[in-house]
Amino acid sequence: MMATTEPPTSPYVLQLLKVGRQYGSDPAVHALVDVDLRLKPGEWLAITGPSGSGKSTLLNVIGCLDTPTSGSYFFEGIDTATLSDNERAGLRSQRIGFVFQSFHLLPHRSVLENVMLAETYRRQSRQGRRERALAAIDKVGLGHRAEFLPTKLSGGEKQRVAIARAIMGAPGLLLCDEPTGNLDSKSSANILDIFADLNRQGYTLVVVTHDETISKRASRRVHIIDGKLTELANGESHGQQAPSPGANKKASTISRSGITLRDLFDEAIAGMFARPGRMALTMLGIVIGITALVATLGLSRTASNRILGQFDELAATEIVVTAKSGVSGAAPNAIPWDAPARLRRLNGVTSAGTLSPVDIGDALVSSSLVKDPQGQTAFNLSVQAASPGLFQAVRADLKTGRLPDLGHSTRADRVAVLGPGAALKLGIVSVRQLPAIAIGDKLYMVIGILRNVARQPDLLGSVIIPEGTARHDFRLPSPGSVIIETRIGAASLIAKQVPLALRPDNPAALKIASPPEPQRLKDAVKSDLNVLFLLLGGLSLIVGAIGIGNITLVSVIERTGEIGLRRSIGATRGHIAIQFLLESTSLGIIGGILGAGLGILIVVAVSAHQVWTPVLDAMVPFLAPLVGGSIGLLSGTYPALRAARLEPVEAFRN
């Protein structure tokens, strides 16, 4: 059918020409069939008909909540088929007021705030909004209840609030869907009196009702059955005693719907705090995720700092020198006896000592104080010869007694130090009684017992005698190895200098075992730890994001009625999506701040318990809210789009 063009100066508020509305196609449901309807300013039209006859569909088409599938609909001379979604929203916001059977009041907002909501999507200054809302509330006789919550009102009072919201800004056309359907007879009569008064003031009313009392008070009545409209005899005619409140608005222009940033933030904040329990649950996912991320990253940096510090102190400062086999001059005297003294002259060497395995043949180590069940009193223990500087180089920790000194070695004294494993086998726990052990047929006095060594763990189960004693008693030909401890960062340089310091005549005779490049190894260790903990923190964030998405989606489903209300008062799909995204992003930012604080506290607490130095990235307090906001934005995208796609008619139906 060709759309009929109506002149901009149309005398009608609305004009429907052969309007049809069809749902589905197999089979098609015809909710409206060739509806013709014209309504002049100041008329009160009652639409009656049985349930399912198409009354609400007709009202939705008139209110631009739904679009006809055939025919033409002109509002104040404007062909609504030519309007964009934003312009249709602007038309609803500024020129149409809706009154619903179920009131559709936001329970967490006061009466005044519910009425002020009508101007939210008109992109206008807030100046005077409160006064205009109070005037509308006074007009319906609820000025004394302006600060009450809807939960404190009766059904009739709730409907009066809905009427005040509908007339906020004097839209001119009021569309009322079963406005007394949930009210008792007394409340219904009060509502009818309000409608009559509004009609006398010039408001144009369209009321869908089953109630004959309402239809008889209207100036016009139409009846709809199976989508077909029939004009009935007039009821009470109230005439037109005042110009329509919307008559001063130009019919040829429609202002687009819009919302100011302040209103947008106010609505988002109100939506967030409307249900504190759900807000807390939504934030909890982000808080847990950010806390886990900050804590794991902080602990990884702290732990890696600890590990790398220990690496620097041990592996990165140790050099081991041995004779290279198969090289001329390498044995038996590749390492000189004065190697420790030569090495200590190098800048960067903190200690050095020789360590040599002693060949005692078939001799056993024994002590008369021990006897095992098999009657064995001698053991095949390792015997090592050490220079005095060795114990510092291997970081030996003495449990009891003392360590051999240069005098013991020079005089070839028969003294020994036991590793903890050797002492346990020999049954020696103290040196107060000057215990002695036998190595073969030679007797040695035990002067010390070790607790632990940081390097060369073989010493834990060995008997250690002075190097001079080993040369005298067992013909030790030359030192087996030299253990060198350097300052941090000096190992690589010292490793190059050692061959020339010990064997300038034949540097190739020595094998130098130095640690790998410290920085490269440190970077590798640090990188591995960071990746591990980052994956753990990221997994926590993903779980949190999924939780936020689920809760936000549930929120959209629970707020379906609110979404329908906002669409009816002028919100576009974009406004709905932005509000939900702003809510989820704001929750993410707040969760990020709380999570960062908790994560830092966990790092500090664990470090204090472990006596570690906490290491935290200075950017964490700034990046955590950004990460939280990003997670909130991403996890809220699908629920926000779903809310935006929800049609107002579908929202009210559900």
Torsion, Cα 37 40 45 49, to 10 degrees, reads 0
Helices 518-558, 573-610: crossing angle, 10 deg rounding: 140
CB 7 within 8 A of CB 21: no
By mean pLDDT, which of 208-222, 228-242, 283-297 is the weakest?
228-242
Residue 153 is classified by DSSP as S
CB atoms under 10 Å from CB of 71, counted, come to 21
What is the structure's pLDDT at 305?
62
- Cα separation, 370 vs 372, in Å, equals 7
- Cα separation, 353 vs 351, in Å, equals 7
Mean pLDDT of 417-438: 92
Q: 602 to each of 280, 296, 616, how far by Cα in Å?
A: 21, 9, 11
CB 116 within 8 A of CB 129: yes
Mean pLDDT of 483-507: 89
The amino acid that residue 387 corresponds to is S
Mean pLDDT of 452-478: 92
What is the structure's pLDDT at 152?
92
What is the structure's pLDDT at 648?
78
What is the structure's pLDDT at 524?
59
- Cα separation, 367 vs 332, in Å, equals 33
Q: Is the pTM of this model over 0.75?
A: no
Residue 67 tokens read as 């679009």
Residue 238 confidence (pLDDT) above 60? no
Residue 251 confidence (pLDDT) above 60? no
Residue 392 confidence (pLDDT) above 90? yes
CB atoms under 10 Å from CB of 1, counted, come to 11
Concatenated DSSP letters for 328-386?
TT-TTTSS-TTHHHHHHTSTTEEEEEEEEE---TT--EE-TT---TT---EE--EEEEE
Q: Where residue 326 falls among pLDDT bands split at 50, 70, 90?
A: low
Residue 201 tokens read as 């003031």
CB 256 within 8 A of CB 275: no
Burial of residue 572, with CB atoms counted within 10 A of its CB: 0-12 exposed, 13-18 middle, 19 or more buried? buried
CB 587 within 8 A of CB 559: no
The amino acid that residue 48 corresponds to is T
- Cα separation, 197 vs 238, in Å, equals 10
What is the structure's pLDDT at 523?
61
What is the structure's pLDDT at 236?
47
Highest mean pLDDT among 312-326, 363-377, 431-445: 431-445
Q: Where residue 249 falls among pLDDT bands split at 50, 70, 90?
A: very low
Q: 96 to each of 36, 89, 92, 132, how far by Cα in Å?
A: 20, 10, 5, 17
Mean pLDDT of the chain: 83
Of 153, 142, 205, 145, which is closest to residue 179 (Cα–Cα)? 205
Q: Where residue 467 falls among pLDDT bands split at 50, 70, 90?
A: very high
Residue 513 confidence (pLDDT) above 50? yes
Of 578, 557, 576, 567, which is closest to residue 649 (Cα–Cα)? 567
Q: What domains can you pick out in the chain, each with its CATH number?
A: 14-255 (3.40.50.300), 272-310+521-653 (no CATH), 335-502 (no CATH)
Torsion, Cα 265 271 273 277, to 10 degrees, reads -150
Q: Where residue 210 falls among pLDDT bands split at 50, 70, 90?
A: confident
Residue 82 is classified by DSSP as G
What is the structure's pLDDT at 239?
42
CB 70 within 8 A of CB 43: no
Q: Where residue 354 falls among pLDDT bands split at 50, 70, 90?
A: very high
Residue 53 tokens read as 């006859």
Mean pLDDT of 257-279: 85
Q: Where residue 447 falls among pLDDT bands split at 50, 70, 90?
A: very high
The pair phi, psi for residue 274, each rounded to 5°, is -65, -35
CB 16 within 8 A of CB 37: yes
The pair phi, psi for residue 352, each rounded to 5°, is -155, 145
By mean pLDDT, which of 11-25, 191-205, 222-236, 298-312 is the weakest?
298-312
Residue 204 confidence (pLDDT) above 80? yes
Cis peptide before 27 (omega within 30 of 0): yes
H-assigned helices in 140-256: 155-167, 185-200, 212-217
Residue 313 confidence (pLDDT) above 60? no
Residue 583 tokens read as 């809510």
Residue 7 confidence (pLDDT) above 50? no
By mean pLDDT, which of 39-53, 227-241, 438-452, 550-564 is the weakest?
227-241
Of 78, 87, 66, 113, which is closest to residue 258 (Cα–Cα)? 87
What is the structure's pLDDT at 394?
92
What is the structure's pLDDT at 454?
86
What is the structure's pLDDT at 5?
43
The amino acid that residue 174 corresponds to is L
Mean pLDDT of 148-172: 88
What is the structure's pLDDT at 185?
81
Tens digits of per-residue pLDDT, 332-341?
A: 578 999 999 9
Half-sphere exposure (CA, 13 Å, Cβ side) for 44?
27
Q: Where residue 345 falls among pLDDT bands split at 50, 70, 90?
A: very high
Tens digits of per-residue pLDDT, 573-604?
A: 999 999 999 988 888 898 888 988 888 888 88
CB atoms under 10 Å from CB of 183, counted, come to 20
- Cα separation, 436 vs 428, in Å, equals 9
What is the structure's pLDDT at 330?
44
Residue 508 tokens read as 């190739």
Residue 370 confidence (pLDDT) above 50? no
The pair phi, psi for residue 11, each rounded to 5°, is -80, 0
- Cα separation, 193 vs 210, in Å, equals 18
